[in-house]
Structure formats: C-alpha cells, structure tokens
A and B are shown apart, each in its own frame.
Chain A
Amino acid sequence: MSAVITSIVSIGHQDSFGKENIWETLQPLGTQSEVVAPDYKTYISPASLRRFSPVLRMALTAAQVCQNETVLPFDAISVGTSLGCLKDTERFLQTFITATGDTLSPTAFIQSTHNTIAGAISMALGNHSYNMTHTQNSLSFETALIDGLLCIQEGKKSVLVGAADEAIEFLELLKPQVIQSAFPFTSGATFLSLQPEGNGTKKAVMDCSVHFNNTNTEEAIATFLKNNQVDSDTIELVLFAGEIPRTIGAKQVNYEQYTGLYYSSAAFACHLATDYALSKEKYILIVNHQVNGKLGLTLIR
C-alpha cells in the first residue's frame, strides 16, 4: 500500500498556508498562539463563511487548494477528525439546554456532525465520489490515511485525504484529569492529494499502521519497518509525538511543539515530512504516540 503525495496544504497555528516549504517559517508555539488564518473569502462563499465554524473554514480551504493544485478531480475523499465540529456541538448543547420556547435553531446541529467537514467539501467541489469520515481519537488521521491508501490500491487515481480538529476553551478544563499533555489545545487542518506511484514530484507514503494496545513501541516500529523491507539505518528523520525510544532514526523532531495539541496533528507531521529535504535512499518515520498505548506509524519516502 503506497501512494505519492502530489499536493499538501496545512492551516493551523503555524504560518504554513501557501508556503513552498513549511520548515522555513516553523516556530515552536507559545502558550497563547492562534490560528494563522488565510483570507478565507478567496475560497469560501460569503454565505457559507458566515455559517462555518473554524474547523470547517480551515478544512474547506485546505481541501479547495488541494483540488486547485490537482489536475484530476478527486475520485475519493477520506477525512479524519478526533472530536469533530466541537464549536457547533457545544453551541447546540447550549442552544437546547437554555431553550425556553418550542423552536430551536437547527444550524448548529446541522453543522455538529463529524461528517459535516467531508460533506461540505463534497458540496463545495461538486464531488459525487466516495466520501468517508473516520474518527479514532489520537489515530484519526492514520485511519483516514489507511482508507485513502486502500482507495489507491483499489485503482482510484486521485484521492483527497485530510485531517481537521478545532479547539474550544472548554477542552482545557479536561486537563489533567481526562487529558494529560504539556501542550495547549490548538486547531489545525492538513489536506493532501494522493495519487498512484509514478505521478509524484514530492514524496510518497509507503505505509501506515495503527496499534491499539501498544506496549512496546520499539518492537512495533521494528516489525513495521521489516514489513516494508526498510532498514532502520535508513531512517533519516523521525517526527514524533509522545514518548518514543530515543534510539530510532538519525534525527528526532517532536512535532507537537509546532502543532500544539489536537488529536489529528500527525497530518501536519506528514506535511513536515513532505517538505523535508531528504537524502537519497532515506526515509522519514512519523511516530504518533500522543496517547499512551495508541500508536500510529507512517513511513514516508
């Protein structure tokens, strides 16, 4: 299962949108950072823009730019989101909890479902193809990516894979009891175009795998590399989140210092990998261990 990345777009707390190489503007985040938003008006109609929450704006714009940069219309769309459209979810909770009359405004409810993101993309692009939404906590991007790779394996020619999540203030209340992380909650969307091998000018996703009861990261990585016939000495860069063995890869970079905390940020690591100046015959490994026991591995060539 492999595919080339022909286009990749990120919007989040880094100044990454429209950049040739996102490493050049990369800054570790402070505690009070905000989304660096592009001019959404260029990509989203004024009527939609008024209704759309941040996660929809980010995702739709990133997806739209991916389609603009991809000659073929997408014949599959696969989106991962860990917590979905949180802002509208909270807004609708507030709507019905405080409601007094018999009528409720439906807008927040309509936009609260997880697949509002992928659905809005299909409508904006006039796209009638396969349209999927995966949600698997910290492995939401990886499960969407696995679906995208599966689509390519099945013969699809142009697949949009993306991940999007948004922060709301309420989330910080969950620390440290429910969520343990040193990073502040943030928002981010990364979308990429996948095509079959042979079309690429950028990089290729070689494989992606998820592990739900991981007790030995080192062993899981060794098996993953072996399955892909990749020698561990050829891993030039490891992009990681959470605790990982320090022995793997020539260089290790913690991507959460750049993304902040959202549970589909491995997609941004994928963008970092795509823009990285990699030596010949070398590989990048993304190790997502944001949550203990859950492990996502993505191999980039």
Chain B
Amino acid sequence: MEIFVTGIGAISCIGNNVQEHFDTLIAERSGIKKGSHPHSERFLVGEVPLTNEELIDRFQLKINGSRTGLLGCVAAKEAFSGHLLREDIRTGVISGTSVGGMDVSEIQYRSYMNNGTHDISKYKEHSSGNSSEEIALELGIDGFVNTISTACSSAANAIMMGARMIRSGALDRVIVGGTDALSEFTISGFRSLMIFDEEWCRPFDESRKGLNLGEGAGFIVIESAASIEKSGSTSLARLKGWSNASDAYHQTASSPDGYGATLSISEAMKVANLKPEDIDYINAHGTATPNNDLSESKAIMQVFGEQIPPFSSTKAFTGHTLAAAGGLEAVFSVLAIQHGYLFANLNHRNAIEETKLVPVTRTTKVETIRNVLSNSFGFGGNNSTIILGEL
C-alpha cells in the first residue's frame, strides 16, 4: 500500500514555519547561538526565539501547556492546515518526545527543593503522553493518540508507527513527527555526558567534539490513497520505507561498527524496495559527537559500498532537537525532493580520517532527487531510518 505525505510543518531556531526553514537552509544560515536562559547561556544552542506566551499569541493556540506541547501544536497545526476533519477519514496523532513537560516540572521541583513550595497543578503537564494529547486537542482530533519516547529517534519511530497503522488498515490519515523543548534537565544531562561542543558543532568533521542542543517540532501528515480520494489533499511526496533496529551495545554510545544503524538502513531500503543506487540524498543523523558520526559513517559505508550518495547532517543549522529531530528532518527531506536541493553540512573542513567521507558542504541545487534516506539514532541503541521519495 502506498503512503503519501500531504502536509508538512516545522518550528525550530531557523524558522517558525516550513518556508522560513527552506529559506534559511538555502541561505546556509545556522540558528545556533549563545543561549538566552540562565540554564542555557553558557552554551551554544538552537533556541526558538519566542516565549510561550508569544507562541500562544502568534499561532493562536487553544492549548496552554508545556513548551514541548506548544511547539508541537505549532508544527502540527501547520502540517494539518488545509486538511479537514471528516467522519469517514480515521485520523490519528502519533508524536515523539523525550522529556515531555519537563520544562514545566523542573521549575516547580526546584522551588519545592529550595523552599518547599510549588504549584502542584503544574505537574499535570509533566507526562510525555500529554504533549501528544494536547496536539490532538488543538487539531480537534479525537481518534488514536500515541506517544513514542525512544530519545533521539522518537519522531522517526512515530512516523514509522503511523505508516504501519495506515498499512494495517487501522487508520486512514495520521499526523506524525516529534517535539521537544529545551529544558534545564536535558542541558544538564548532556553536560553530564560531556558531549557538548563549546564551539559550533561540526558534523562529520575530523575535529568534531560534540553536539549543540536545539529545540523545536516537525510534523508531516501521511495518508493512504483511499483517504486522499476523500480528502482531496495534494501529495507532496511518498513515505516509502521505515525501520527500527537495536544496536544492543551500550545505553548511550553507538557500536564502533554501526551494527544497529546498518540493520535499520538496510531494512528500510528493503521495506521501500529500493537499491542503494536509488537513494539520491542521505539526511544523516550526524550529531557531531565523535562516536555517532564515525559509527554512522561506517554503517553508510557498509550499505552503500563505493557508491555513497550525497549526504549531510542539518544539525549545524538547528542544533540537535532530540525527539523532534526525525520530524524536522523528514520535513527537510520532503523539501529536498520537492525543490531538488541537497542541504549543506555546515562547518565542515576535513573528512574523518578513518572514513575519508566528505559530506555536502554547500546547499546545492540538483536536477532531481528521487529518494531521501533519513537516519535518527537514539539512546538505548535505538536506530531508525525512514525513506521519503518522489511521487
């Protein structure tokens, strides 16, 4: 069964909507800069430059929840704009998030620890499941709601779950993607792991030292052909392949040989029924940590051999938006196919010595992009790949 993408939505430090993202990707302008909050000012981060109140106001949100929920509502609303709810189109929301409403809880919990007072009612925003239920509420969807929480691969897995639900006949149309707000919890967590780069991150560069964090949300609407017949939606691309595999190596590090990543890439190509030469662009996970980029490079080399397609990581634009990354990058993949662009891997100077792989360093117009393979790898050895293609 063919699955079509009929809507895209995005918010991150490089744009409040899809068009702004596209313009910034073409202009090769990173959104990563010195943080503006007490917990982020010591780091280079990709913050959405709008307060929660500004988000609610500007995007006329009905929901007033966690920042994770709000960012999700903005992107999902854009993706779903122009779509109508109908009784005969079973519509669901499947969203990924890593920490859900932690941005709210951590403020209350700090107050509770420091002086024993906190606003108990705020904790109702805490659970990860709430952010997805808020998105469904914002869009008026009362069908299936599902939250995936597999750290940095959450959005890719949400997209995969949506595709499988459509293919099984359980749903006709699903808004899929992910959302994560920057929280002190997350920043402290990555700080404790010592995988921050104090400078701008340099994916796939020999000198890479670590990642810059970001926040945002990316969603796509996927539909079956039968659903499109009723909805009259315009297809932008096809969702052709997906896979998830487990590295089973280490809780936070990837295996040196990229075994789990190799499995997920090759299985997604099998699902899409595509050969290596059919892939025209790889939007890599490319977090710029020494470990990820080497492991991912090896996986790409194992699957593609000598003929490695143009590849890049867009993390140097947005920062690593964690559970939202796979959603934002699915949107970028659709843009690549629609407009024929390979997006720049910013800040790249020298190839990793061990692999010699050189990513696309400038945003480049090409004649046609038939299929884009997008990787998302998370803690727990959770490796996911999706493939988007032309119609």
Chain A interface (Cβ within 8 Å of chain B)? 1, 77, 82-84, 90, 92-99, 103-106, 109-116, 118-120, 122-123, 125-137, 139-140, 143, 146-147, 150, 153-154, 173-174, 177-178, 210, 212-213
Q: How far is the CA of A178 from the CA of B120 in the complex (A)?
A: 7
Q: How far is the CA of A188 from the CA of B367 in the complex (A)?
A: 56
Q: How far is the CA of A146 from the CA of B184 in the complex (A)?
A: 34
Q: Which residues of chain A are within 8 angstroms of B193 by Cβ–Cβ distance?
A: 106, 109-110
**Nearest CB on B from A53, distance (A):** 13
Q: Which residues of chain A are within 8 angstroms of B120 by Cβ–Cβ distance?
A: 173-174, 177-178
- Chain B interface mostly: helix
Contact flag A132-B150 (CB < 8 Å), given A96-B184, A109-B192: yes
Whether B136 sits at the interface, judged by CB under 8 Å, is yes
Q: How far is the CA of A83 from the CA of B124 in the complex (A)?
A: 12
B251 in complex: contacting residue of A93, A104, A116, A173, CB < 8 Å: A116
Interface residues on B, range: 35 or more
Q: How far is the CA of A24 from the CA of B113 in the complex (A)?
A: 44
Of residues 129 through 150 on chain B, the ones whose CB sits less than 8 Å from some CB of chain A are: 129-130, 132-133, 136, 142-150
**Nearest CB on B from A140, distance (A):** 7
Contacts A93-B185, A147-B161 aside, 16 further interface pairs with beta carbons under 8 A come to A83-B127, A84-B128, A96-B185, A103-B192, A119-B379, A128-B260, A129-B245, A130-B246, A131-B245, A131-B380, A132-B161, A135-B128, A136-B129, A150-B164, A154-B168, A178-B123
Q: How far is the CA of A153 from the CA of B167 in the complex (A)?
A: 11
Evaluate contact between B150 and A115: CB separation under 8 angstroms.
yes
Q: How far is the CA of A178 from the CA of B127 in the complex (A)?
A: 12
**Nearest CB on B from A98, distance (A):** 7
Whether B28 sits at the interface, judged by CB under 8 Å, is no
Q: Which residues of chain B are within 8 angstroms of A123 by Cβ–Cβ distance?
A: 248-251, 381
Q: Which residues of chain B are within 8 angstroms of A130 by Cβ–Cβ distance?
A: 244-246
Evaluate contact between B168 and A150: CB separation under 8 angstroms.
yes
B149 in complex: contacting residue of A84, A105, A110, A122, CB < 8 Å: A84
Q: How far is the CA of A134 from the CA of B154 in the complex (A)?
A: 10
**Nearest CB on B from A171, distance (A):** 9
Q: How far is the CA of A99 from the CA of B147 in the complex (A)?
A: 32
Write 25 A-B pairs (CB below 8 A) sorted by A numbering. Answer: A92-B188, A92-B189, A97-B113, A97-B114, A106-B189, A113-B149, A113-B151, A114-B149, A114-B150, A115-B378, A115-B382, A116-B379, A119-B251, A120-B380, A122-B380, A123-B248, A123-B381, A135-B149, A136-B129, A140-B129, A177-B120, A178-B123, A178-B124, A210-B144, A212-B144
